[in-house]
Amino acid sequence: MPISVARHDLMRRMNEMAVLTVLRQHGPLSRRRIAQYTGLTKSTVTVAVQRLFAKNILMEVGTINNGPGRPEVLLNLNPTAGYIIGAGIDVASYHVVLFDLEAHILQQYLASFEANASPREVLSRIAADVKRMKSLIEEREYWGFGLSIPSVISTEGDVIYAPNLKWADVPVKDYFVNLLGEPVFVLNDADAGAVAEYFFGEGQKSELLVYLTLGMGIGGGIVVNGDLLRGTTGASAEVGHMVIAANGPLCSCGRRGCFEALASVRTLIERATRARDAWEWLSLDEIVNGFSAGEAWAVSAVNETVQYIAEGVTNIANIYDPDMIVLGGPLARLGPYLEHYVQSHVSRHIIAANHRRIAIKITSLGQFASDLGAGAMVLNTAVDTRDG
């Protein structure tokens, strides 16, 4: 392809993506307002809108009267123009969901697998479920597939190393591309959570969004102006292993005093079990219930853990200078208490605190967030692959 044609295609694609982005963030909008938000000329917007209409990605949703002159037509995304399948692997379980372009879930499926199941076995079971869901929709309505895995994922979509699953060097993306065709996206679970927050959750207007999953470990994902920050090997934002207490407790990675060795679900369980002098490990349910009931052992264990979370989040705020940090994973159940504590700590302790405001939010996307996020990567390719 000659360079001038390639450049023209790229410009057209960027214009169409810009229109889609402002509609997702601010829609419904008139063409005039789209031009204001994107900074594109009205004629460029008209061309982009025409092409998106031809692809069935936009729809008219009414009119608005702005003073004299003709009423303006309001445009928005057509949520049922296509369907995406997302899946997520956890330790010993997986889920698959079918959803539309606004993340309404039409079908969901959950299953468990043996802890020592081979990657081939787990992937083939997921593939069978994905094919079954795909058969429910028409071929032209299927937009693609995304899978989230608690693993370092290479930029080619391979599992490099998944410590909790004990998987290493698994070419996951190739496997699904062979079965389903493109597009297929394979993401680290925290990265997928970050993408989900950007497309569907708290961070839709965020320029630099950090998402943290607070679970048995702590992972991070970062979205900058709509793009996932992957790092050079795919292992960016491994914030769980930043040291926040030199000579602190031993971490699974071999160092001492890592963020996740002080602020994960595992450490909360250890603290609460010790504080209560219990004979068996307490469950997170028991701890959250005890905390809600104001029981001293639970309050002290939660407080100590939340203090470490706040310290870690403040470091992250200073390193990345985000406008929003979303907290997800099992500890998001601590809800407003966690949100307020971390918000006030960050607001007091970030550098240049007088000049910036960083919003701390608890995720609102629920248990399928990372499935939605992995699948949402498909939306970035939508303007390329749709017929127009």
Residues of this chain that bind Zn ion (CB under 5 A): 241, 251, 253, 258
- CA distances 78 to 85, 196, 205, 291, Å, are 17, 19, 20, 44
- 153 contacts 88 by C-beta, under 8 angstroms: no
- 263 contacts 308 by C-beta, under 8 angstroms: yes
- 86 contacts 99 by C-beta, under 8 angstroms: yes
Please identify, using beta-carbon distances, which residue of 251 and 326 lies nearer to Zn ion.
251
Please identify, using beta-carbon distances, which residue of 235 and 253 lies nearer to Zn ion.
253
Which three-class secondary structure state does DSSP give residue 47?
A: helix
Query: C-beta of 258: minimal distance to Zn ion in Å?
Result: 3
Please identify, using beta-carbon distances, which residue of 219 and 373 lies nearer to Zn ion.
219
Tokens encoding 363:
């995720």
Query: C-beta of 261: minimal distance to Zn ion in Å?
Result: 6
- CA distances 101 to 76, 370, 378, 386, Å, are 12, 15, 10, 14
Please identify, using beta-carbon distances, which residue of 252 and 307 lies nearer to Zn ion.
252
Query: C-beta of 213: minimal distance to Zn ion in Å?
Result: 15
Query: C-beta of 241: minimal distance to Zn ion in Å?
Result: 4
Count of beta carbons in the 10 Å neighbourhood of residue 3: 7
Q: Which residues pair with 184 in a beta bridge?
A: 145
Q: What length does the chain have?
A: 388
How far from chain centre, in Å, is Cα 157? 16
Query: C-beta of 343: minimal distance to Zn ion in Å?
Result: 26
Query: C-beta of 256: minimal distance to Zn ion in Å?
Result: 8
Please identify, using beta-carbon distances, which residue of 35 and 258 lies nearer to Zn ion.
258
Please identify, using beta-carbon distances, which residue of 81 and 258 lies nearer to Zn ion.
258
Tell me which residue has tokens 């390329």.
Answer: 384
Query: C-beta of 211: minimal distance to Zn ion in Å?
Result: 19
Cis previous bond, 79, omega within 30: no
Determine how β-strand 142-149 pairs with β-strand 184-188. parallel
- 229 contacts 319 by C-beta, under 8 angstroms: no
Please identify, using beta-carbon distances, which residue of 74 and 253 lies nearer to Zn ion.
253
